[in-house]
Structure formats: C-alpha cells, structure tokens
Amino acid sequence: MSKRQLTQQQRQRIAQQQQKALANADGDIVNSDSCNGRVVSHFGQQLQVESLVPESAGELLLCYQRANLPALVTGDLVFWEATESGQGIIVAAAQRSNAFTRPDVNGRAKLVAANVDRVLVVFAVYPQAFLNLIDRYLVAIESLDLSPTLVLNKIDLLDDDNRDYIDNIVSIYTDLGYPVFTVCAGSGTGIAALESALNGQTTVLVGQSGVGKSSLINCLGEADLAAVGDLSAARQKGTHTTTTARLFHLRQCDVIDSPGIRELRVQNLHADQVTQGFIELKHLADECRFRNCSHQQEPGCALRAAAEAGTINPQRWESYQQMLTSLESA
Ligand SMILES: Nc1nc2c(ncn2[C@@H]2O[C@H](COP(=O)(O)OP(=O)(O)OP(=O)(O)O)[C@@H](O)[C@H]2O)c(=O)[nH]1
Ligand SMILES: [Mg+2]
Ligand SMILES: [Zn+2]
C-alpha cells in the first residue's frame, strides 16, 4: 500500500459517489455498502484510512473525523471526502456489526476494533498464562456472539517445569469445545493450521503483553510487518510494544494487532453476561430455584450443585466466582 494524492478525476468521482450515498444516509450512519474506506489505525486525533474506492483501492490516507461522529476505531467502515491537502475528512460511518472492547487501566471499557469475524485469544508459555485472564476474554467475546479461538504460542519454551501447567490449561479449553491452536511464532510450527482457520476473515488478536501477537502477524504475513519487543529481563513480562490497534492484510487473512495488557481489571459487565460467557454454566441458570439467583450462596442453585457434583472444572468454577465477586466490589 502506498500513499499518493488523488487525481482530479478521482476526486470528482468520489464526490459523485458521496452525494449518492449520503442521500441515503440516516444521520451520519450510512449503509456499509456506501462506504469508501476502512479505518486501519489510529494516531491521536487522526485515523489512518484505507481507500475502498476502486481507482485508489488500498491507498492509505490520514483523516480527521467530523466531531459529530462517534469515536471511530480500527475496522470501522467509513465515508471520507478528500481535502485539498491530500488528506481526508470522515463525514459518516457505517453501523458496526460488532465492536470488541478491553478494559483500560481504570477498568472502563475501551474500544479496540470493530467489524471483526473472529477474536483470537493468544497466551504463551511465558509470560505466565492465567485461567481467569483467558476467561475474562472469553466472556467479552461470547457477549459479542463471536466464537473465540485460543492460541498457545512459544511452545518451544515448554519444559518439564511448565508442561503440566500448560497442558492443564489447554485441556480445560479443549474439553469445553474451544479450538486451541498450539504454535511457535519463532519457528513457524503450527502456523499453517492456524492460517487456514483464519482464511478470508478479519481476526483481532488479543492477549497479555509479550505473548507474541505481533510476532504471529509477522509469521502470517511478511516478516517485520509489526514491531516486536523483548520481555522485561527482571520479571519475564511484556513491555507494551504495540500501542495502537492496526489492521494488516496478510497472506490469507486480515488481522488486527492490538496492544497487550498486563492485567485485566473489571469491565463494565453484568453478572448475567459473565454467566453467559461460561459456556458450560449458561444452560444451567434456568434450573436454579430462584429466578434472580446470583449463583453464589443461594439454596437450590443449579450451577453450584453442578460444581459440587464435580461436573464443572473446579478452576473454571473458581474463576467464575472470582469474576462475580470482582463485579460486586467494582
Ligand atoms: N521463544 C519464543 N519467543 C517468542 C515466540 N513468539 C514471540 N516471541 C518473543 O516474545 C517477545 C514478545 O513478542 P511480541 O510479538 O512483541 O508480543 P506482543 O504480544 O505483540 O506484545 P505487546 O505488543 O506488548 O502486546 C519477543 O521477544 C518475541 O521475540 C516464540 O514462538 N518463541
Ligand atoms: Mg505487539
Ligand atoms: Zn444459581
């Protein structure tokens, strides 16, 4: 993709298309078919937009957005007009099919990407993976009606000290029916299977800082597309190398890289959303004695009964209870 200015003819054609599309616009929200660009990244007040106009398809331009539009994110389909300076102004945006959010440092939901087909939760042998962190992602993804996919990266670092710990995590999610890909972005092991699962889709990568999300992008596309950073020497944690979500066109799929997190705090979730995000629990909620059962202490709770009977994995149950408690104390 290259940056270049649009010709006069292209501008006129865009203007005609714009008038036609805006005539059908409902406020500032247009039909996605009428859009002429997709947001690929965000820099402060400016958005980088990829043109979808046939004459200039794939070209990137920096755009401001009209103040009356909602905050736009990577993956949003937009309608832009060219400005004299060769940049653009976004005058309308399409209704999103979905929007993935993550909590910011204060626990508030922060938009990461819009219009995604799939969310890939990446975890690794190092930095250490935690079930409750993965579970929180799963809750967020299930609430979007998307099917989560998990990726274990850095399998080259598996050894006798960590193998049981990692195998346990992998088997918990595999037993629940989630696809879990095991890969090594460093050597390319397992990447072909992952690549064919992502074929033709737009996928957003999420996960702790340092698990290798950007490294996976470089493996699924050309090397060095996305910046990769070492773990901190002292604590083997990620160093927040990726700072903004960015959409990449890779060999077989579009992937949005996103900034990793170090810990996941409470998001603006309802207890019901948490229950719906635990796929082995959600169907049991109708069987509780009380309709407004909080699934914590009440008598006749079908979820607790299942946990006590041993049909729910104890670590998942603990993670669920922890999440409910953290919502209460938020
Ligand atoms: N041993 C090993 N190291 C890997 C592998 N994949 C990535 N790494 C290393 O892990 C570190 C972090 O990789 P990144 O790709 O920057 O991680 P990230 O998830 O994008 O991190 P943030 O951008 O901070 O969220 C780098 O030092 C990579 O070289 C792997 O398969 N094996
Ligand atoms: Mg990164
Ligand atoms: Zn209950």
CB 256 within 8 A of CB 204: yes
**Distance (Å, whole) CA 306 – CA 285:** 11
Per-residue confidence (pLDDT) for residue 145, from 0 to 100:
82
Domains by residue range for the chain, with CATH: 8-94 (2.40.50.140), 101-257 (3.40.50.300), 271-328 (1.10.40.50)
What separation in Å is there between the alpha carbon of 227 and the centre of ligand 2? Answer: 7
**Distance (Å, whole) CA 42 – CA 62:** 9
**Which whole-number Å values give the CA distances from 226 to 212, 229, 255, 301, in the listed order?**
11, 10, 11, 48
Q: Among the listed ranges 28-32, 83-87, 219-223, which one has the minimum average pLDDT value? A: 28-32
pLDDT tens for 11-65 read 666 556 555 554 444 447 778 888 999 999 998 889 999 999 988 889 999 999 9
**Distance (Å, whole) CA 265 – CA 194:** 29
For the residues 120-145, what does the mean pLDDT come to? 92
**pLDDT of 93 over the 80 cut:** yes
Q: Sign (positive/negative) of CA torsion 277, 283, 287, 292?
A: positive
**pLDDT of 266 over the 70 cut:** no
End-to-end C-alpha distance for the chain, whole angstroms: 45
**Closest ligand 1 atom, CA of 211?**
19
Per-residue confidence (pLDDT) for residue 26, from 0 to 100:
44
What separation in Å is there between the alpha carbon of 285 and the centre of ligand 3? Answer: 6
- Closest Cα to atom 16, ligand 1: which residue? 228
What separation in Å is there between the alpha carbon of 186 and the centre of ligand 1? Answer: 8
Per-residue confidence (pLDDT) for residue 233, from 0 to 100:
77
Burial of 52 (0-12, 13-18, 19+ CB in 10 A): middle
**pLDDT of 300 over the 90 cut:** yes
Residue the block writes with tokens 């609430």: 143
What separation in Å is there between the alpha carbon of 266 and the centre of ligand 3? Answer: 21
Per-residue confidence (pLDDT) for residue 33, from 0 to 100:
82
**Closest ligand 1 atom, CA of 261?**
25
What separation in Å is there between the alpha carbon of 228 and the centre of ligand 2? Answer: 6
Q: What are phi and psi of 169, to 5 degrees?
A: -65, -45
pLDDT tens for 139-180 read 989 888 888 999 999 999 999 999 999 999 999 999 999 999
**pLDDT of 137 over the 70 cut:** yes
Per-residue confidence (pLDDT) for residue 225, from 0 to 100:
87
Ligand nearest to the CA of 295: 3
Ligand nearest to the CA of 300: 3
For the residues 124-135, what does the mean pLDDT come to? 94
For the residues 240-249, what does the mean pLDDT come to? 92
Most confident option among 27-41, 130-144, 272-286: 272-286
Per-residue confidence (pLDDT) for residue 16, from 0 to 100:
60
**pLDDT of 91 over the 70 cut:** yes
**Closest ligand 1 atom, CA of 242?**
23
Give the pLDDT band (50/70/90) at residue 2. very low
Q: Among the listed ranges 256-270, 296-310, 311-325, which one has the minimum average pLDDT value? A: 256-270
Q: Among the listed ranges 9-18, 130-139, 292-301, which one has the minimum average pLDDT value? A: 9-18
- Closest Cα to atom 12, ligand 1: which residue? 210
Name all residues whose Cβ lies below 6 A of ligand 1: 153-154, 156-157, 184-186, 209-215, 228-231, 238-242, 259-260
- The model's pTM: 0.89
What separation in Å is there between the alpha carbon of 170 and the centre of ligand 2? Answer: 23
Per-residue confidence (pLDDT) for residue 43, from 0 to 100:
86
Give the pLDDT band (50/70/90) at residue 264. low
